[in-house]
Amino acid sequence: MADLLSYFQQQLTFQESLLKLCQPELESSQTHISVLPMEVLMYIFRWVVSSDLDLRSLEQLSQVCRGFYICARDPEIWRLACLKVWGRSCIKFVPYTSWREMFLERPRVRFDGVYISKTTYIRQGEQSLDGFYRAWHQVEYYRYIRFFPDGHVMMLTTPEEPQSIVPRLRTRNTRTDAILLGHYRLSQDTDNQTKVFAVITKKKEEKPLDYKYRYFRRVPVQEADQSFHVGLQLCSSGHQRFNKLIWIHHSCHITYKSSGETAVTAFEIDKMYTPLLFARVRSYTAFSERPL
C-alpha cells in the first residue's frame, strides 16, 4: 500500500507542474471538482468520514481516482479517527506502521451497525382444568447493543425482531421505553484480550406530581438509583473482524439516596447469555451530521 501511494504521488507530480488531484474525464461547462484546493477537498473527505467514523465510505471514495486515493490515505484523517476511538492511549501508532493500520488492526467495537443476539428457551405452562394436559411455550427474545464513537452505548432486551427495532437505534434520541443508555470503555489485558465494560441505566422520565393523596399520610418510599454493569469480550469470527461479543459479567447496582449504600446483585452468566453478533446497517451511515 505504501509503494502504491508513493507511485501515485510521483505520477501526479510528473504530469502537472501545478498539482491537481484529478482530471475531468469528459468536457463540461460546469466547474469540476479538480479546481478545488487541497484544503477544501480534505474538508469534504472529513464530512464523508463524519462524526460516526464511517471509514468504509472513505475507502470506497479512494477508488475514484489516484488523487482521491492519496487524500483518503492522509495520516491526519486516520489519526483523528484513532483518537476518537482510543483517546490518549494511542498518542503514537507504535507498534503499527501507520494510523490507518492501527484503526484497521487494533481491536475496537464497530459503529456502523448493531450487535444482536437471540435467545430461545422452553417454558412450562399451566396445567389444564382436567389435569391431562400441560402446555409448553417457546420463548424468544433479542438483545441489541449499539455503540457510538463518543463513548455512549444503548442496550435493549425485547421480543421484537430486528426488522422493527434496528431502525429505532439510529440515534440516542429513540422513543423506545425499555432502552438502557450509558457509557462504555475498552480495556486490553496482558493476555491481549480486549474487553468492553459499560454502565447503563434506564431512560429517566419526568413523573407528574400526584395531588390526589396529598392530604393523606403515606409511608415514604425510599428513593434509589438503579444501574447495570456489563462486561463483554470482543472477538472476531468468520471473515469479519470485531464482530462478536461474549458475555463475561452482568450485575445490577441499586444505590439508596438516603443512606448512600449500594446493593449489588450479580447474575450468573449461563447459556441464556448468548453471544452477540454484529450486523451492519447501511442507514446508520446514510448521511453525516458533523465532520470528523
| pLDDT tens digits, 104-134 | 988 999 999 999 999 988 877 666 666 666 6
How many angstroms separate the CA atoms of 93 and 36, rounded? Answer: 31
Mean pLDDT of 34-46: 84
CB 47 within 8 A of CB 291: yes
Extended beta strands in the chain, E state: 113-127, 134-147, 152-158, 180-188, 194-202, 224-237, 240-256, 262-266, 276-280
List pLDDT tens digits, range 258-278.
787 888 899 999 988 999 999
In this structure, the answer to whether residues 57 and 126 fall within a common structural domain is no
* 273 domain-assigned: yes
Split at pLDDT 50, 70, 90, the class of 8 is low
pLDDT above 60 for 58: yes
How many angstroms separate the CA atoms of 224 and 156, rounded? Answer: 22
pLDDT for the residue 155? 94
pLDDT for the residue 17? 47
**Considering only CA atoms, which of 89, 90, 88, 77 is closest in space to residue 51?**
77
In this structure, the answer to whether residues 35 and 138 fall within a common structural domain is no
Start-end of H helices in 87-174: 99-105, 162-165
In this structure, the answer to whether residues 133 and 51 fall within a common structural domain is no
* 105 domain-assigned: no
* 104 domain-assigned: no
Burial class (CB in 10 A: 0-12, 13-18, 19+), 199: middle
* 103 domain-assigned: no
* 248 domain-assigned: yes
Domain boundary among 42, 73, 104: 73
How many angstroms separate the CA atoms of 224 and 264, rounded? Answer: 13
In this structure, the answer to whether residues 252 and 184 fall within a common structural domain is yes
In this structure, the answer to whether residues 67 and 117 fall within a common structural domain is no
In this structure, the answer to whether residues 128 and 269 fall within a common structural domain is yes
In this structure, the answer to whether residues 51 and 126 fall within a common structural domain is no
Mean pLDDT of 28-47: 82
pLDDT for the residue 196? 93
- Contacts of 250-257 with C-beta under 8 Å, sequence gap 24+, read 252/226, 252/227, 252/228, 253/226, 253/227, 253/228, 253/229, 254/224, 254/225, 254/226, 255/224, 255/225, 255/226, 255/227, 256/222, 256/223, 256/224, 257/222, 257/223, 257/224, 257/225
In this structure, the answer to whether residues 174 and 247 fall within a common structural domain is yes
Query: Domain containing 17: what range?
Result: 2-23+31-73
Which amino acid is present at 115?
A: Y
- Name residue, grid cell 440515534: 171
* 81 domain-assigned: no
CB 133 within 8 A of CB 115: no
* 182 domain-assigned: yes
More confident residue, 1 or 166: 166
More confident residue, 238 or 135: 238
Split at pLDDT 50, 70, 90, the class of 156 is very high
How many angstroms separate the CA atoms of 195 and 246, rounded? Answer: 9
In this structure, the answer to whether residues 124 and 12 fall within a common structural domain is no
Pairing verdict, β 224-237 and 180-188: unpaired
Instruction: Quote the number of domains for the chain.
Output: 2
List pLDDT tens digits, range 193-247.
889 999 999 876 655 555 555 555 565 556 778 899 999 999 988 888 899 999 9
In this structure, the answer to whether residues 134 and 262 fall within a common structural domain is yes
In this structure, the answer to whether residues 188 and 262 fall within a common structural domain is yes
pLDDT for the residue 208? 55
* 212 domain-assigned: no
Split at pLDDT 50, 70, 90, the class of 292 is confident
pLDDT for the residue 163? 93
In this structure, the answer to whether residues 67 and 118 fall within a common structural domain is no
Domain boundary among 73, 105, 136: 73
pLDDT above 60 for 93: yes
Mean pLDDT of 33-51: 86
Query: Is the omega angle on the peptide bond into residue 95 within 30 degrees of 0, that is, cis?
Result: yes
